[in-house]
């Protein structure tokens, strides 16, 4: 089968190779992958910036396709079903945080950037009927991360004023959709004006260019402060977020692309009684609730572009430039679409 593997010896960090088709273990299903979406962790693996890297591992966490074979302990009724894959494994028993055995499909175990993928049967879910395979592939990792950040940890409710920073990535655009579908008033930041326009077209009330010195003043003028902020940057920008969060508000972080906080205004943190909450992906229950909500509300992940599996490098290079809005998706046996 054709697939994309990590290759630190190659100038591109990845190679397009042929490997033997996997055979499902007793408790596994074999999925013929129709589409697989990129996540930033795939790019970080390519850049050798992720832990426990192994050359030769098939990258990719998100995937959708058809079950074509099952292991001996799996109900054969799964064969022929269209499914999407939950890439989180071994969350553990504590809903509050993942356990020590938690891992994500695609590193250090083979992932979805291939024509076939074998996963435990409890990792597959029937594809929501309103989504095609490309849209379904764009949902799992970003969807559950956004749902846990916004709904589970952020406790969003109707009427809340919510700020989603860095609008453009897969998690941020799903966080906007979840917040809007829960009846919140949504605002965004981005580094590109055209992305702000897209957010407003989706239902956001206003957007702010985060490299502008006056964005926090503009935000306060529009909103008088936010009940909930969803962020993935951290770094020095945290103190700007502290300026625009309302007393008693929540700051929920699902990443740290700008690194650690160099200096935190602790007085503002305790005086405003702000909750600073970290979050990572989501439990199996979070995933099931997310999928049910997406199905009920008929939410559709934003897809920026689709590439054939053989042109995965083009998708990686686009992600590297942060020029996408929404997900970048790979398809087997198709031509690229923009």
Is residue 24 a contact partner of residue 69, using CB atoms and an 8 Å limit? Answer: yes
Kindly report the pTM of this predicted structure: 0.96
pLDDT-above-90 percentage for the chain? 94
Sorted by where each begins, the domain ranges of the chain are 2-139+301-331, 143-278
98-138: per-residue pLDDT in tens?
Answer: 999 999 999 999 999 999 999 999 999 999 999 999 999 99
Q: How far apart are the C-alpha atoms of 217 and 224, rounded to whole Å?
A: 10
Is residue 165 a contact partner of residue 234, using CB atoms and an 8 Å limit? Answer: no
Tally of CB atoms within 10 A around 291:
22
Residue 318 buriedness (CB in 10 A; 0-12 / 13-18 / 19+): middle
Q: Is the pLDDT of residue 336 over 60?
A: no
Is residue 104 a contact partner of residue 57, using CB atoms and an 8 Å limit? Answer: no
The CATH code of domain 2-139+301-331 reads 3.90.180.10
What is the pLDDT, as a whole number, of residue 337? 38
CATH 2.30.180.10 fits 143-278, yes or no: no
The number of residues making up the chain comes to: 338
pLDDT band at 77 (very low <50, low <70, confident <90, very high): very high
Residue 171 buriedness (CB in 10 A; 0-12 / 13-18 / 19+): buried
What one-character-per-residue DSSP string does 261-309 give?
Answer: -S---HHHHHHTT-EEEE--S--HHHHHHHHHHHHHHT----EEEEEEG
- Average pLDDT rounded to a whole number, residues 50-70: 96
């Amino acid at each position: 089968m054709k697939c994309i593997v990590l290759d630190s010896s190659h100038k591109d960090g990845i190679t397009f190779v042929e490997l033997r088709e996997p055979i499902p273990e007793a408790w596994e299903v074999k999925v013929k992958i129709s589409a697989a979406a990129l996540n930033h962790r795939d790019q970080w693996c390519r850049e050798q910036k992720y832990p426990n890297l192994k050359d030769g591992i098939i990258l990719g966490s998100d995937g959708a396709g058809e079950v074509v074979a099952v292991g001996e302990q799996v109900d054969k009724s799964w064969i022929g079903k269209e499914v999407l894959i939950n890439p989180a494994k071994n969350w553990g028993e504590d809903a509050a945080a993942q356990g020590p055995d938690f891992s994500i499909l695609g590193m250090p175990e083979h992932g979805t950037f291939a024509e076939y993928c074998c996963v435990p049967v409890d990792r597959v879910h029937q594809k929501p009927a309103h989504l095609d395979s490309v849209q379904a592939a764009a949902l799992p990792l970003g969807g559950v991360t956004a749902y846990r950040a916004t709904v589970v940890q952020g406790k969003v409710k109707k009427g809340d004023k919510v700020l989603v920073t860095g609008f453009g990535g897969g998690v941020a655009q799903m966080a906007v959709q979840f917040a809007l579908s829960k009846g919140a008033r949504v605002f965004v930041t981005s580094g590109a004006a055209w992305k702000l326009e897209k957010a407003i077209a989706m239902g956001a009330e206003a957007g702010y260019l985060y490299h502008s010195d006056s964005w926090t003043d503009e935000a306060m003028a529009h909103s008088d402060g936010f009940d909930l902020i969803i962020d993935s940057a951290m770094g020095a920008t945290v103190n700007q977020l502290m300026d625009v969060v309302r007393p008693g508000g929540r700051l929920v972080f699902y990443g740290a692309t700008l690194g650690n906080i160099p200096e935190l205004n602790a007085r503002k943190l305790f005086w405003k009684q702000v909750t600073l909450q970290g979050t990572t992906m989501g439990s199996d229950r979070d995933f099931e609730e997310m999928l049910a909500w997406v199905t009920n509300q008929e939410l559709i992940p934003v897809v920026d572009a689709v590439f054939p599996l053989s042109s995965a490098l083009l998708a990686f290079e686009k992600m590297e430039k942060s020029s996408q809005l929404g997900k970048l998706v790979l398809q087997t046996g198709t031509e690229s679409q923009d």
